[in-house]
Structure 1
């Protein structure tokens, strides 16, 4: 089969050319209770994983259906597999995002992180990835996201992260989707700037190997040096460079983002900051609207 991108061209053009940012709504597994706690729910609000995932879907559906959440400010939304498999107002989530909100749907495909080795945590094996990618295509998902974490400026470890990310990225491209490659540098990394220098060189080498017509997106930690990833913003194989908030507050992340021109946000916790289950719809929508506007403004530099 051709490996030239053959997916939804309207979605491709939106991500490439329109203003906005990526909403990360993909907390899963171990991070789901943390997301629910931040939303004002305690552990006694659910008694099983099924109930927990139903609650987190309600939270995500409340965000997505809010009048503040539209394609005017938001390019795309990253979903957890469980969210992709559910409906919003009787419409499959990915279709609801695109048809009702003009927001491009992405899917988190990794299965979490392996134990630390050589100063990094690579992704756990993904034996069912081909089947998941087929389901994602059938459900009209545009792209995917997968996360690794770099904890130290260890050259061998960082190379292992990038090798794995691009090996899986090629599998995703072959399935007709655009992968978001996410080699996160932990913001508490003691030699963060050095780790970013090693990472940048490894990423550049892989990007230059991609054939014409194949694209990736990069999701990167806000760098220690302003505009450090400017070359990637202009790279012909990079559809978009997005930044993760990485544990910074929204105000801190917005400030750092403004200093990195052409990079847009892909915030998760920072997007949902201040939202709670106890808020009225008016309070919820106003809080979300302020978050979206501040992240959008920071993404427009």
Structure 2
């Protein structure tokens, strides 16, 4: 039995459970930040060190969060990088700004990257100091966390180990009163993706059946080859919400697939920021972001 003495904010929990929107993934980390900035029109010669790079990505994230369309009406939650949690947006710490000003529920990315591939999967690297980070997250006003591992082959042993690791750490996260988003991503380009998704569903079901009934948990999954494949997870009483990652699909394809999966909402990163540019004026930037949010929200509610 998990310690449930500290439970999530009820108003935020209700919004994630039944809100008519999606979760924005604004959690690009050290390895993915240069690519995210390039797609935003900021080349690597615009910064000379990591500190300057993270300043620029924070400016991008702040611009998105401050846009008029980025509110809890259609964006029910947002996943932040740890450095974003520690920074200000306007005159408030990031998590407070999201919830107090925008009505958007804040999550924190907590994984520290991936191990080398073994048995067709990449496990998460050890998350040093996780309890300290989770304590800081609680104090900052975070609702939950997200952690990512990768499945690149329909390997039963590897997938079982991958999912088991996710849920073991999710228990530690839940012990702090935070809601864990479990994210075992299936690589979209593999030949045996559908078979891998069958194995993944079986392992998720096994872990969910053993999960504490009083503790909410979330799943973030690659959009499947077979529409409705993860419906048993959507319907599982221990699952607060199933969200989908875009995984490299462009926004049109990601939205098409998403709309075919009942009860699954988006948690897009690249598909959310696609087409946004540092060179756009505020009118063009805000207009494009508003249209993107409308499209992703509509696809999230279509299923």
Would you call these one fold, judging by a TM-score over 0.5?
Answer: yes
Is the CA contact 1:4–1:213 (under 8 Å) kept in the aligned structure 2? Answer: no
Equivalence for 2:94: 93
Is the CA contact 1:5–1:214 (under 8 Å) kept in the aligned structure 2? Answer: no
Equivalence for 2:163: 162
Equivalence for 1:107: 108
Per-residue deviation, 1:212: 1.9
Equivalence for 2:270: 269
Is the CA contact 1:222–1:245 (under 8 Å) kept in the aligned structure 2? Answer: yes
Per-residue deviation, 1:4: 5.8
CA distance in 2, matches of 1:215, 1:115: 30
The CA deviation string for residues 211-257 of structure 1, in whole angstroms up to 9 with x for no partner, is 22111100000001110111111111100000000000000000000
Is the CA contact 1:5–1:213 (under 8 Å) kept in the aligned structure 2? Answer: no
Is the CA contact 1:5–1:215 (under 8 Å) kept in the aligned structure 2? Answer: no
CA distance in 1, matches of 2:30, 2:5: 33
1:243 aligns with 2:244: yes
CA distance in 2, matches of 1:5, 1:296: 31
The CA deviation string for residues 160-206 of structure 1, in whole angstroms up to 9 with x for no partner, is 10010001000000011000000000001210010000000000000
Equivalence for 1:131: 132
TM (normalized to structure 1)? Answer: 0.99
Equivalence for 2:253: 252
Equivalence for 1:151: 152
CA distance in 2, matches of 1:110, 1:2: 22
Per-residue deviation, 1:2: 3.0
Is the CA contact 1:117–1:157 (under 8 Å) kept in the aligned structure 2? Answer: yes
Equivalence for 2:67: 66
TM (normalized to structure 2)? Answer: 0.98
Equivalence for 1:183: 184
- Structure 2: where are the runs of 5+ without partners? none
The CA deviation string for residues 7-60 of structure 1, in whole angstroms up to 9 with x for no partner, is 210000000011100000000011000000000011111111111000000000
1:212 aligns with 2:213: yes
Per-residue deviation, 1:5: 5.9
The CA deviation string for residues 248-289 of structure 1, in whole angstroms up to 9 with x for no partner, is 000000000010011000000000000000000000000101
| Equivalent position SS for 2:267 | strand
CA distance in 2, matches of 1:165, 1:189: 22
- Structure 1: where are the runs of 5+ without partners? none
Is the CA contact 1:212–1:237 (under 8 Å) kept in the aligned structure 2? Answer: yes
State the number of aligned residues.
301
The CA deviation string for residues 57-94 of structure 1, in whole angstroms up to 9 with x for no partner, is 00000000000111110110000000000000110000
Is the CA contact 2:6–2:176 (under 8 Å) kept in the aligned structure 1? Answer: no
CA distance in 1, matches of 2:219, 2:108: 15
1:57 aligns with 2:58: yes
| Equivalent position SS for 1:290 | helix
Is the CA contact 2:8–2:178 (under 8 Å) kept in the aligned structure 1? Answer: yes
